[in-house]
Structure 1
């Protein structure tokens, strides 16, 4: 629906459920409208239209989404040899600056690093003809909107603007009104899929006790026919803890959360995509736009903050027409929050059934073999694991400690040199009379 409108150069607001192909909805028209040497050879463009400065800019909210959109566009633009560059924080500036100086056609980036490089005059935005704001509602949630507006202020006024988002809060509509001219609003829904959630995702909601949850998850992960699985937690500490517990129970697990360095985050995602790890434990940084083939199960270890987060988390499965299973474990304390989500999405799980790792209905609902325990049998531990995936050193900024943690602790703490200076001797007083200080 988007392609003919976007190819004509009109401004577009695109709204569709997660997992329906928004990336190529804006990616293909954008790649088509970039001028590359092949166009000059074919007589479609004049040589003076060629430039080494970026001609299209895509702004995304998270680093993970940035690398994914970049890879999708590199694949789609291979035949026309379009140069696409990802610009995001958490890694060294120098390679990004060097790539920009060599020449780039399309830049995909997160707001902070884009502003940094544009402010240092390393990123030239004067030739941008197409701007895309992807997952605009998430940028609003993360507080990026002021940065996005600063970036828009640096762009030429004559350009095509496309805004894509699964939901359209008021602030995003306001942004569209300010910076778009007569946009065409395209909203894609399937006629047989009228609900807010995907019809091809089976949803289960259980009231669970926090001390029993790790055991429950370990059993759910042994359901028949399970492919890759994503486990979502609300806090970074919980995500790190659950990933470690699952590893001790014999599962090949990795973690993606904000306390990890960028190298470790990318290592875990690569291992997950390559099947070396089959359980990815993450916070909501991975709930947006991450598209991994073969994710059959999404488990909400903790109830999501709101209905939008629920939609994005569960939308990691059942993508591109596949079917999936979403399991949500709700603590007693979280019942009021869950009931608000349930009401907003018009689901019928207002009063989740009390469930434990030994409850018969857990086994029958999720097709878990009888007698399954919370440890993966040795015979089934066939995945290579996280350590089999190489950890890249991305030259991450942020000081010694940050870099060392990010590189998985490979650097040893530098041994401190022996103290050469004599310690300063304190001046003591006796009866108010100062004693002479000992010579150094």
Structure 2
């Protein structure tokens, strides 16, 4: 029904049940409409119409369906030598880009990788004349609608568009109205098959317990006449667990789900097609379009989400007129969901029968021998298994599915190349003194080189003086004396050390110990703000005293730097020295804290008027008057009570407290 309409170039919406041949329904018109060299030889086309750009595009939702459609189109177009390329994720980019560069006629791909290559300018979609969306409803369910719209925008406006699927929801019809031009809707059904499911498929629905399902499935797989079987699960974890349990029970099983790499997924499908594996446990990723000859049983280990998923699952059997059996196991929690599916598809299983692995009706309805156990007998384990199928190295992105490292002989451990230069030696110091050079660095062959730097050797020969700790006390000279006296001892006890020599030079011999004459030099004191203030005031006082006692002292030949201390001294001299008439008329200078401190100490009125005791004044008094009178201690209650010599009779009686009463009792 589709072939004449599609060959004429009209847009088509094709809807048919699973297993009725939709792939060739759109594949044959695509192969006929592309221009290949065989058409030029037959005179149906001119050489100018030939191009290396793709002329037809088929968009599919899953990778497994992509490979299957590609193989079908390659088989159908073998006579005309049509170049068909599969583009999907999980494989390396380089082979696909190289095939596009050589030239392709038909492309079958998934939306993600198609957009990726088109964005990299590796895929040219400007010459596409036919577009096919296979399993269009599944692409909408998986969220591919935005990607599909982006792909359609990259195509030329004049083209043929065809949509094919077993179910056509309203969203697909809306997509058709937006991007198709007067499409022809073709719905292919048989007169004797009015239902939504295929009549050749026998359906069985049982209510089973989740803990009894593995045993139940193991007995179903030993039914009479059972060929290849597919088991569908809702989650990836469940699929992997069931495949492992069946393998332990003796069945040749494989798994296909999203957590596996592309190489492992294709390995399982190849082993299933080749007969090395007879049980394929998979998720809904393999429920669309997978066509394997000889599948007799489909088991829904977990209830499907909706009626569309149920139709595509059981559609893997009973294909192309063959007979098949579909068994659905429903948990107690999934009964409401199953009742909705049963009502939507108008089935006859509203209330499934409670079934266990030992139920009599299970053996009768599915043709299972009575003495069947949950483990496959060793005599029937004739399949080669999944390990017999090699994993193809697809160069996957993300590093999954690569071959084991044991397949390639790894070279021996490479020897490390000889060092071309001496490694840098680390310097370790303790308390500012460098540690002794290690024996390895002294015995290094690089140090035997005759080429030495004389300047560097001279620097090494000079010993490094130990670092001294500086302790300062404000306004006290005792710390200075202690440091000065302790300095010779510290220097004498320090061991002579040698700084590590630079790379490529001979280390110098230890220098002579430091002489006592050098060690007697006064160590440098840390000048704090308080010390600087004291020194400034002392210098000002000394300068003022000298100015009073020796006014005729000659001035220094070299002028001193005018700092704050010098300015204070000059101010003090100007105040103490007799001023002339010219100087008296000048404006007095600004009185700073240092000047005020000097005036407070040196002025004769300082004895009569008590100056304000500031920090600077206190510091001056502490330095200039060491024999100053000690201020009497502060009079507190205790000192008054201790020094008072008042008779007990004349003293005012105090309030008797508990403590006083307790003290008076022993005296009485």
TM-score of the pair, normalised by structure 1: 0.92
How far, CA to CA, are the matches of 2:357 and 2:182 in structure 1? 55
CA contact (8 A) 1:136 1:172 kept: yes
Runs of 5+ consecutive residues of structure 1 not aligned to the other structure: 415-440
How far, CA to CA, are the matches of 2:217 and 2:295 in structure 1? 16
Runs of 5+ consecutive residues of structure 2 not aligned to the other structure: 411-668
How far, CA to CA, are the matches of 2:403 and 2:21 in structure 1? 35
The Cα of 1:370 is off from its aligned counterpart by 1.1
How far, CA to CA, are the matches of 2:406 and 2:134 in structure 1? 37
| Structural mapping, 1:18-57, within 5 Å | 18-57=18-57
CA contact (8 A) 1:229 1:280 kept: yes
Secondary structure class of the residue paired with 1:132: strand
The Cα of 1:342 is off from its aligned counterpart by 0.7
The Cα of 1:85 is off from its aligned counterpart by 0.1
CA contact (8 A) 1:276 1:383 kept: yes
Partner of 2:438: none
Deviations 1:30-70, CA, capped at 9 Å, x for gaps: 00000000000000001000000000000000000000000
How far, CA to CA, are the matches of 2:106 and 2:74 in structure 1? 10
How far, CA to CA, are the matches of 2:368 and 2:249 in structure 1? 17
CA contact (8 A) 2:233 2:239 kept: yes
Partner of 2:366: 366
How far, CA to CA, are the matches of 1:300 and 1:126 in structure 2? 44
The Cα of 1:411 is off from its aligned counterpart by 7.3
Which is richer in strand? 1
The Cα of 1:407 is off from its aligned counterpart by 3.5
Deviations 1:272-316, CA, capped at 9 Å, x for gaps: 000000000000000000000000000000000110000000000
How far, CA to CA, are the matches of 1:122 and 1:14 in structure 2? 31
Deviations 1:320-356, CA, capped at 9 Å, x for gaps: 0101000000011111111111111111111100000
How far, CA to CA, are the matches of 1:139 and 1:176 in structure 2? 14
CA contact (8 A) 2:10 2:184 kept: yes
Secondary structure class of the residue paired with 1:280: strand
CA contact (8 A) 2:393 2:403 kept: no
How far, CA to CA, are the matches of 2:167 and 2:345 in structure 1? 13
| Structural mapping, 1:58-207, within 5 Å | 58-207=58-207
How far, CA to CA, are the matches of 1:183 and 1:237 in structure 2? 42
Change (3 A) 1:409 1:307: farther
How far, CA to CA, are the matches of 1:335 and 1:409 in structure 2? 45
How far, CA to CA, are the matches of 2:116 and 2:394 in structure 1? 18
Q: Give 4+ residue runs of structure 1 displaced > 2 Å after superposition.
A: 406-412
CA contact (8 A) 1:264 1:407 kept: no
CA contact (8 A) 1:87 1:110 kept: yes
CA contact (8 A) 2:302 2:330 kept: yes
How far, CA to CA, are the matches of 2:354 and 2:406 in structure 1? 47
Deviations 1:252-277, CA, capped at 9 Å, x for gaps: 00000000000000000000000000
Secondary structure class of the residue paired with 1:243: helix
Deviations 1:112-146, CA, capped at 9 Å, x for gaps: 00000011110000100000000000000000011
Deviations 1:230-251, CA, capped at 9 Å, x for gaps: 0000000000000000000000
How far, CA to CA, are the matches of 2:333 and 2:186 in structure 1? 40
Q: CA RMSD in A?
A: 1.2
TM-score of the pair, normalised by structure 2: 0.60
The Cα of 1:165 is off from its aligned counterpart by 1.1
Whose relative contact order is higher, 1 or 2, with alpha carbons under 8 Å and at least 6 apart? 1
Partner of 2:390: 390
Change (3 A) 1:229 1:111: same
Is 1:2 equivalent to 2:7 in the alignment? no
The Cα of 1:161 is off from its aligned counterpart by 0.6
Secondary structure class of the residue paired with 1:80: coil
How far, CA to CA, are the matches of 1:352 and 1:184 in structure 2? 40
The Cα of 1:409 is off from its aligned counterpart by 6.1
Partner of 2:239: 239
Change (3 A) 1:386 1:410: farther
Between structure 1 and structure 2, the one with the greater Rg is 2
Secondary structure class of the residue paired with 2:112: helix
